[in-house]
A and B are shown apart, each in its own frame.
Chain A
Amino acid sequence: MRDVAIVAFAQTDHLRRTDELSEVEMLMPVLHQVLDTTGLRTSDIGFTCSGSSDYLAGRAFSFTMALDGVGAHPPISESHVEMDGAWALYEAWVKIQTGEADTALVYAYGKSSPGQVRDVLTRQLDPYYTAPLWPDSVALAALQAQALIDAGDTDEAALAALAARSREAASDNPHAQLSGAVPAGDYLVRPLRTGDCPPIGDGAAAVILAAGDTARALCERPAWIRGIDHRIEAHGLGVRELTESPSTRLAAERAGVFERPVDTAELHAPFSSQEVVLRKALGLDDRVRVNPSGGALAANPLMAAGLIRLGEAAARIHRGESDRALAHATSGPCLQQNLVAVLEGESTHA
């Protein structure tokens, strides 16, 4: 296995609306930022991979428009995943492992503001038995939350406290959409209140990956990806045990999370109740700093929020604030798909 690290990370300020910007206009500043951080030019990048969704954009092949922002002419080696950019990062990591590239630019973006995101997300559900009922994303998360409450894993007050802690942490995050004291609010779909749910917004993020000595040359303290894995569960919600996340647990095992303690965890839990599930699956206790960025409850630009978890974890390592961090990304209803990575600073890898 090659040593591969995240060497640069940038994200937009996440906003409720960005009507004045097209996707590529929203994306370009973060692309330039990661390139400037490393001193690389687009022609130096070995592989480019992105994550986004046509259903958010409301049109087919929308990612091709964003490609103008990376300088795709003359032709570059490029790929795209129709999902969160965390999975684009996984693909880029695999590409570097094959030896076909030494550096990769990974980016992700999503504008939720043009559509009704609760309805848009129903289109990812099983089209025969589930999607025709139009169960929106909050409703499905609420079913999971009630299952957790019935199981005695949490209660509404604990969920509210968890959401408050996340947004308090986001006070230190200039990119966050919601921070500080945010009211718990009314029930959106009971038992979830508005405060338990992520803000709807637009945003983008980018990272640069590099292998071995290239990474050391580009970054003072690279965030080495010591393990990364992703797993999926059955699409039938009634088949799954919603209070557990066996896919997160398995991905974490394969990524090596349990070999040594982590000091930081960036969890992609758009709903407060999902953090309860993830903490249990990952065995996180109070010694681990969870979501110092505020997490997805503070900013949830769809398709970028998972990549941002990897970026935030890496940035803490770059700054020397973490030595061993866990990053998690999710996709699908009720944590259906989960990706887990372990990132480390050089000094702990002696």
Chain B
Amino acid sequence: MPDVLSAPLVVEFPFTRSLGPVQSAFLTGLRERTVLGVRTGDGKILVPPVEYDPVTAEEIHDLVEVAATGTVTTWAWNPRPRRDQPLDTPFAWVLVRLDGADTALLHVLDAPGPEAVRTGMRVRVRWAEARTGAITDIACFEPHESEPGEPVPHEGEFADPVTGIVTPARLDYTYTPGRAQSAYLEALEGRRVVGERCPSCRKVYVPPRGACPTCGVATDERVEVGPRGTVTTYCVVNIKAKNLDIEVPYVYAHIALDGADLALHARIGGIPYDQVRMGLRVEPVWTEGSRHPDHYRPTGEPDADYDVYKELV
């Protein structure tokens, strides 16, 4: 059993989202230090506002301005802030019902400790210094004694409204490929390609993923395949990929390595793109410091007979 391989894997994406009229007004309002809610058909005021009544599903858009002060309806003390949370010192998560609203907004409360927080306490918005039209324009809430105010109608009209937001998301993983793929990757380091044979149907899968997709059982017997193989099918790539230093057009092919019962895919080099053909015999070309073959090139052997590889197309 080889040591388990692992590698950091970061999934990061800036989600770009458009806002409808209600969310646009709310987030633009935050930029202008104004908190807007929306009135439902039965007169309830929802803050934060939504475009559809969560009870009746009726479309709603009557905006009202509520106060930047409110009351904590429930809370939870977070002794160890996590990355990307609004404050980097211990804080309370809070649901706050702003004065004039009938629902509560989730945010955080800056307080010295849990003993300073209770349900029912009065708070107010602390605005972020740099505001862009996002929920984080509210930096946090802070304790503040004040008398509740009344909501007032608001047109929701602002100069230069925010119509979209970008919400970055980053998640960090430690990827472990499992037994079969670990063995495959370790063999590649020695410039060998190994597959695994199904104990039931005897087919050799490469790269092995640990299971035979026909029999649904674990593949168990390790088999070295290649290095030579046969092009079973291919395509000509005419569009240059970003950050990829390969001249177009080039050929990407399915290659059945000798001894394998499943074709893997790789680029074909060392031959003009328009001379690549099904049945072409190829071998891997390794480059220094790379885990995978850089590409496959013709061996010069006669082409393989179609009947030999037709099951693998």
With an 8 A cutoff between CB atoms, is B175 at the interface? yes
Q: Which of B4, B23, B95 contacts A143 (CB 8 A)?
A: B95
Q: In residues 128-162 of chain A, which contact B (Cβ within 8 Å)?
A: 128-136, 139-140, 142-147, 150
Q: Does B89 contact A (CB under 8 A)?
A: no
Residue in B78, B167, B212 whose Cβ sees the most chain A Cβ within 10 Å: B78
Complex contact B93–A135 (CB within 8 A)? yes
The answer to whether B180 touches A187, judged by C-beta atoms less than 8 angstroms apart, is no
Nearest B residue to A66, CB-CB: B211
A107 to chain B, nearest CB (A): 11
Interface of chain B: mostly helix, strand, loop or mixed: mixed
CB interface residues, A 217-243, toward B, < 8 Å = 234, 236-239, 242
| Residues in B neighbouring A236, C-beta threshold 8 A | 46, 48, 50, 54, 103
Contact at A190–B77, with CB atoms within 8 Å? yes
Q: Shortest CB–CB separation between residue A184 and chain B, in angstroms? A: 16
- Could you say which of B23, B174, B177, B180 contacts A128, with CB atoms under 8 Å apart? B23
B54 lies within 8 A of A234 (CB): yes
B173 within 8 A of A: yes
Q: Does A183 contact B (CB under 8 A)?
A: no
A131 — which chain B residues lie within 8 A by C-beta? 167, 169
The one of A74, A135, A150 in contact with B119, judged by C-beta atoms closer than 8 angstroms, is A150
Determine how close the nearest CB of chain B comes to the CB of A231; give it in whole angstroms.
14
Nearest A residue to B211 via CB reads: A68
The digit string for B131-146, where 1 denotes a CB below 8 A from any CB of A, is 0001110000000000
Contact: A22 with B213, CB < 8 Å?
Answer: no
Is B218 in the interface zone, CB < 8 Å from A? yes
Asked if A133 and B210 sit within 8 Å, CB to CB, the answer is no
Given contacts A119-B83, A128-B17, contact A25 B179 (CB under 8 A): yes
Q: Could you mark each residue 199-220 of chain A with 1 if its beta carbon is under 8 Å from any beta carbon of chain B, else 0?
A: 0000000000000000000000
In whole angstroms, how far apart are the Cα atoms of A123 and B9 in the complex?
17
Question: Using Cβ atoms and an 8 Å threshold, which residues of chain A touch B218?
Answer: 25, 28
Query: What chain A residues lie within 8 Å of B217 (beta carbons)?
Result: 28, 32
Partner of B76, one of A69, A70, A139, A234: A139
With A114-B9, A132-B134 known as contacts, the answer to whether A25 contacts B211 (CB < 8 A) is: yes
How many residues on chain B are close to A (CB under 8 Å)?
A: 66
Taken residue by residue from 3 to 28, chain A's Cβ proximity to chain B (1 for < 8 Å, 0 otherwise) reads as 00000000000000001111111001
What is the bound-complex CA distance between A130 and B1, given in angstroms? 45
The answer to the question of A31 belonging to the interface, with a C-beta cut-off of 8 Å to chain B, is: yes
B86 beta carbon closer than 8 Å to chain A: yes
Q: Does A189 contact B (CB under 8 A)?
A: yes
* A24 with B176: CB separation less than 8 A: no
Give the Cβ gap from B167 to chain A, nearest Cβ, in Å. 5
A284 within 8 A of B: no
CA distance A152 to B114 in the complex (A): 19
> Which of B27, B54, B93, B209 has a CB less than 8 Å from the CB of A24?
B209
Which residue from chain A places its CB closest to the CB of B108 in the assembled complex? A133
Q: Which residues of B contact A31 (CB under 8 A)?
A: 216
- For B267, what are the chain A residues with a Cβ–Cβ distance below 8 Å? none
A116 within 8 A of B: yes
Q: Is the CB of A71 within 8 A of B215?
A: yes
Which residues from chain A contact B1 at a C-beta distance below 8 Å? 20
- Which residues on the B side are within 8 Å of A23 (C-beta)? 178
**Across-interface contacts of B211 in A (CB, < 8 A):** 24-25, 28, 68-69
User: Does B171 reach chain A (CB closer than 8 Å)?
Assistant: yes
- Verify A68–B213 contact, CB threshold 8 A: yes
B173 touches A58 (CB 8 A): yes
Could you say which residues of chain A place their CB within 8 Å of the CB of B240?
Answer: none
Complex contacts, B167 vs chain A, CB 8 Å: 127-128, 131-132
Task: Provide the residues of chain B in CB contact with A140, threshold 8 Å.
Answer: 93
A191 CB-CB contact with B under 8 Å: yes
Decide: A22 near B76, CB < 8 A? Known: A28-B217, A133-B108, A143-B95.
no
A350 touches B (CB below 8 Å) = no
B178 touches A25 (CB 8 A): yes
Please measure, in the bound complex, the distance between the C-alpha atom of A72 and the C-alpha atom of B212, giving whole angstroms: 9
The answer, yes or no, to whether A320 is at the interface (CB within 8 Å) is no
Nearest chain-A residue to B177 (Cβ)? A22
Are the C-beta atoms of A119 and B82 separated by less than 8 Å?
yes
Q: Which of A58, A127, A234, A239 lies in contact with B175, CB distance below 8 A?
A: A58
The reply to whether the CB of A1 lies closer than 8 angstroms to some CB of chain B is: no
Contact of B171 among A58, A73, A145, A242 (CB under 8 A): A58
Instruction: Point out the residues of chain A lying under 8 angstroms from B212, CB to CB.
Output: 68, 71
Q: A20-B179, A58-B173 known; A238 and B105 CB under 8 Å?
A: yes
Question: Residues of A at under 8 Å CB distance from B?
Answer: 19-25, 28, 31-32, 42, 55, 58-59, 65, 67-74, 114-116, 118-120, 123, 127-136, 139-140, 142-147, 150, 187, 189-192, 234, 236-239, 242
Counting from the closest, the 4 A-B pairs by CB-CB distance are A22-B178, A71-B216, A238-B104, A142-B76
8 further A-B contacts with Cβ under 8 Å, apart from A28-B210, A68-B212, A189-B76, are A71-B216, A114-B173, A128-B167, A134-B84, A146-B74, A146-B119, A189-B93, A238-B48
- Of the A-B pairs whose beta carbons lie under 8 Å apart in the complex, a sample of 23, sorted by A's number, is A19-B6, A20-B1, A20-B4, A28-B216, A58-B11, A58-B175, A59-B9, A65-B209, A68-B213, A68-B216, A74-B214, A114-B174, A127-B15, A128-B27, A129-B105, A130-B135, A142-B77, A187-B77, A189-B79, A236-B50, A237-B95, A238-B73, A242-B74
